Amino acid sequence: MSERKSVTLNTPLKRGETEFSEFQIRKPLGGDLRGVSLVELLSLNVDALTTVLPRITAPALNKHEVAQLDFIDLTAFGTAVIGFLPQTSPEATDTPDE
């Protein structure tokens, strides 16, 4: 699995005179997910994405910019983030009865 994903914005983001239309998202590390429920992240919860995206995007988004993203772009970011999570659950191991 790739450690980075690219997201192209439908509605470019403007910072001063500079316009950004493409961002890189890196695979989140444990610390990047602190304070966020994985269930909320999988549900594309806006608060969870607002917390995590500034930690894993390049160029780095800030929370205000995440809040101002077009819905389609926010969904694209969220889909990219959850794409890093395992698609299958690990198999449970049998433990002997006590």
Q: Which amino acid is at 13?
A: L
Q: Which amino acid is at 44?
A: L
* Model confidence, pTM: 0.84
Measured in whole angstroms, the distance separating CA 25 from the mean position of its chain's CA atoms is: 7
Judge whether 90 lies within some domain: no
| Cβ neighbours for 14, distance < 8 A, ≥ 6 positions apart | 20
At 20, the pLDDT band (50, 70, 90 cuts) reads very high
Judge whether 96 lies within some domain: no
Q: Which two tokens stand for residue 84?
A: 């890093």
pLDDT tens, position by position, 28-86: 999 999 999 999 999 999 999 999 999 999 999 999 999 999 999 999 999 999 999 87
Judge whether 87 lies within some domain: no
Number of domains in the chain: 1
Q: Which two tokens stand for residue 70?
A: 């077009």
Domain interval for residue 18:
4-82
